[in-house]
Amino acid sequence: MSPANVTINDVARAAGVSKSLVSLTLNARPGVASETRERILRTARELGWTPHPGARGLSTRRAYALGLVLRREPRTIEVDPFFASFIAGVETVLAERGNVLVLTVVPDRAAEERAYERLVADKRVDGFLLTDLLAADDRIPLISRLGSYAVSLGEPPGGSPFPVITRDYDAGIDDLVQHLVRLGHRRIAHVSGDERMLHGLRRRERFELAAAAAGITPVVVTTDFSPEQGAEATKALLETEDRPTAIVYGNDPMAIAGMGVAHERGLDLPAELSITGLDGSHIGSFVYPSLTTLDNDPAGWGTAAATALLRLVEDGEPGDVALPPARLVVRASTAPPSAG
C-alpha cells in the first residue's frame, strides 16, 4: 500500500484499536492512555500515514462536547436520582474519549429551542442527548434542520433519523402487577408521572393493561413526577373511604415520598400499605422498608447513549441500542395486605 493511500482506518486496524482512538491521538486530543497513544503513533509512522489537509481542517471543527438540554424545573432534577446516575454514565464514556458534557436547564419550550440553536450556532457541541421524549416532540426535526446529531432515550412516535436507546418495561410492569395480585391486593392505585412525556404515558397505559388482565380497575392519579406531587397524591389516596392496599408510583422518588406520608400517618408498611416504584434508583435499597421497583440502571442508559452518539459523530455510524428489559426487583416494601 502506498503511504499516500493510508487512512486512519488502516492505522486503527494495524494498531488493534478503534478509529475514534486513532482520531484522538493523531489530532493530539486528550483521553487516550499513553501506551495506546505510543502504539498508534508508532503504527502510523510505520505505515507512512500523513494527514490530509482537508481532513485535518474538518477535524478541528469538532467541539469534543455533547449537549444535554433539560426542560424541567431545577427542583425536579435536584431530587430525581435518575439524572445524576445517567450523567455519571455519560461522563464515564466522555472522560475516556476526551469529550465533555454541556448541560443546560431551561424553563419552557421557547428557551429550549433557543438553547439548541445557540449551541449549534456557536459550535459548542457535536450532538445532543435527548431525554423526556414527548408525544409531539419538535426537537428531532429541529436538530435535523440545524444540521446536528442526536440520540434519544426512547422511540419517538414518528421515528427518528438518529440512534434510539430503548428498554422494554412491559414485562417488568406485568410482573409487578402480578406480584401484587398474588400477594392478595385488589385495591391498587397508580400515581403516574407527567403523561406529556412518553415514558410516563406508556408506563401508565401498560399498568392499566396489566391491571385489567388481572380483573382490577385501578385508581390513577397524574402528577409531574416530583416527590412533592407524589406526596400530595398519597395523602389524597389515603383519605379515600376505600383506600388502596397498594400504590405503584411512576418513579422511585415519588414512592419514597409516599412512604414518608404513610409513616407520618402511622401506617405499618408494608402490612397496611404496599408501595412500589418503577425506575430502580439505587437509593431505594436503603430506605425503610427497602423499595420494590423495576431495575432500570440509569448509568447504563447514559453509557449507551453517549457511546452511540459519539459513534455517529466520529464515524458516521448510526445504530440503535436495546438495553436489557427492566426486571422486577422485589424488596421489603410489598407484602400481603392485612385483613380489613
Taking residues 303-323, report their average pLDDT. Answer: 92
Q: Would you list the domain boundaries of the chain?
A: 3-59, 65-167+298-322, 170-296
Yes or no: is domain 65-167+298-322 CATH 3.40.50.2300? yes
Cα atoms in the 13 Å half-sphere on the side-chain side of 172: 24
Residue 5: pLDDT band by 50, 70, 90 thresholds?
Answer: low
Residue 2: pLDDT band by 50, 70, 90 thresholds?
Answer: low
Q: DSSP characters for 107-126? A: SSHHHHHHHHHHHHHTT--S
pLDDT in tens, 182-233: 999 999 999 999 988 999 999 999 999 999 999 999 899 999 999 999 999 9
Taking residues 272-291, report their average pLDDT. Answer: 93
Q: Is the pLDDT of residue 131 over 60?
A: yes
Quote the radius of gyration of the chain (alpha carbons, Å): 24
Q: Is the pLDDT of residue 138 over 60?
A: yes
Question: For residues 163 and 319, is the Cβ–Cβ distance under 8 A?
Answer: yes
Residue 57: pLDDT band by 50, 70, 90 thresholds?
Answer: very low
- The predicted pLDDT at position 47 comes to 85
- The predicted pLDDT at position 50 comes to 66
- CA-to-CA distance for 318 and 162, rounded, in angstroms? 7
Question: For residues 86 and 25, is the Cβ–Cβ distance under 8 A?
Answer: no
CATH topology of domain 3-59: 434 Repressor (Amino-terminal Domain) (1.10.260)
Element (H or E) spanning 249, and its range? strand 246-249
pLDDT in tens, 153-196: 999 888 889 999 999 999 999 999 999 999 999 999 999 999 88
Taking residues 282-294, report their average pLDDT. Answer: 94
pTM of the predicted protein model:
0.81
Task: Name the more confident of 149 and 60.
Answer: 149
- The predicted pLDDT at position 318 comes to 83
Contacts of 19 (CB under 8 A, 6+ apart): 8, 9, 12, 314, 315
Contacts of 253 (CB under 8 A, 6+ apart): 79, 80, 81, 225, 226, 227, 230, 281
Yes or no: is domain 170-296 CATH 3.40.50.2300? yes
Q: DSSP characters for 147-210? A: T--EEEES--TT--SS-EEE---HHHHHHHHHHHHHHT---EEEEE--TTBHHHHHHHHHHHHH
- The predicted pLDDT at position 30 comes to 65
- The predicted pLDDT at position 110 comes to 96
- The predicted pLDDT at position 53 comes to 43
What φ, ψ does residue 110 adopt, rounded to 5°?
Answer: -65, -45
Q: What is the mean pLDDT of the chain?
A: 90
Same topology for domains 3-59 and 65-167+298-322, yes or no?
A: no
- The predicted pLDDT at position 96 comes to 87
- The predicted pLDDT at position 56 comes to 43
Task: Name the more confident of 323 and 317.
Answer: 323
